[in-house]
Amino acid sequence: MSTSEHGYVVAVDIGGSNLRLALADMNGTIAARWLSSTAGSRNADQIINLIRRGIDHLLEETSTPRAALRAIGAGAPGVTNVDDGIVIVTSYLLGWRDVPLRKLLQSAFQIPAAVDNDVNLAAIGEFSSGAAKGISHFVFLAIGTGIGAGIVLNSHPFRGQGWSAGEIGYMLVPGIRDHVRTSGKPGALESMIGGEGIKAEWQRQWSPEGTALRIDSTPTEIFDGALRGDLAARNLLGQTARLLASAIYNVSLVLNCTLFVLGGGVGTHPALVAATQQVLDQWTEREPLRVVSSTLGPEAQLIGGIRMALSAALSRSDLAFS
């Protein structure tokens, strides 16, 4: 059989600073990838043009005819109405409001498209072939620059009535500095354990006597330092783990979930995963909560996007797109 008989789908991960694409066959196997910076091209039309360049590149690289494309699954870094295909609001990095992303994709490429929040896509990815494979109830927790949660209940993403379930960056736990939620600013929890928050906490706590690390260290450098025994780094790791464990514990009480998959550049650091598990083990004697690292890493969103695209290809291949 030719590739066009098999067909292909495209997964798109729209980030605050990068755009990533993957071309996959109808089994979900990735054939090629493409990456671009989104610096200077962040409105929706510019992003669509970037996606067009990426798709052209992927088709050429794999000698795939355009007619073999069956569907697109795209993740956006913001609250997304999956039913209507609209990105309701993103962070300031993109600054989108009510962008009809699915319609734009379908118009541009004349194939079915599906859109979702990027963290939900990552949760779908981990569910389909990652750390939560076959687990019907779990929470994917992305900690990178910011924080977000993708919730899976009864083997389906739970998105909430306003599409913003899992906004735990604003959670109020013991040890946070601030209650108030101000529009456009990081949440109370996020401002302490998101990537930027950890850097700010480090700078607040740093003294030349207390550590061998620099004041402008990254979260990864700080957690690496903690593993080497650096005292100040260990203190900040402990603080971060306690705050994160409190948030995980609270989510587990509400949802009755016991598996938490940590993703994102900060969330997957082995020191944070282990320290968080250790705190939770002290709190929960009867019902253990399990904290594991994402096994798909940055691929999770793309694999979730492929799953969405495959569903879109199957369920809506008879629709016309304009």
Note the residues at the interface with a copy of itself (CB under 8 A): 136-137, 149, 151, 153, 158-168, 170-176, 179-183, 246, 249-251, 253-258, 282-287
CB of 73 to a copy of itself, least distance (A): 22
Complex with a copy of itself: residue 43 or 136, whichever CB lies closer: 136
Complex with a copy of itself: residue 1 or 254, whichever CB lies closer: 254
Contacts of 181 (CB under 8 A, 6+ apart): 170, 187, 188
Residue 320, both tokens: 């016309």
Interatomic CA distance for residues 273 and 291, integer angstroms: 7
CB of 166 to a copy of itself, least distance (A): 7
Complex with a copy of itself: residue 69 or 280, whichever CB lies closer: 280
Complex with a copy of itself: residue 117 or 145, whichever CB lies closer: 117
Complex with a copy of itself: residue 52 or 156, whichever CB lies closer: 156
3-state secondary structure the chain: CCHHHHCEEEEEEECCCEEEEEEEECCCCEEEEEEEECCCCCCHHHHHHHHHHHHHHHHHHCCCCHHHEEEEEEEECEEEECCCCEEEEECCCCCCEEECHHHHHHHHHCCCEEEEEHHHHHHHHHHHHCCCCCCCCEEEEEECCCEEEEEEECCEEECCCCCCCCCHHHCCCCCCCCCCCCCCCCCCCHHHHCHHHHHHHHHHHCCCCCCCCCCCCCHHHHHHHHHCCCHHHHHHHHHHHHHHHHHHHHHHHHHCCCEEEEEHHHHCCHHHHHHHHHHHHHHCCCCCCEEEECCCCCHHHHHHHHHHHHHHHHHCCCCCCC
CB of 95 to a copy of itself, least distance (A): 16
CB of 109 to a copy of itself, least distance (A): 31
Complex with a copy of itself: residue 134 or 174, whichever CB lies closer: 174
Complex with a copy of itself: residue 111 or 189, whichever CB lies closer: 189
CB of 291 to a copy of itself, least distance (A): 16
CB of 187 to a copy of itself, least distance (A): 8
CB of 261 to a copy of itself, least distance (A): 16
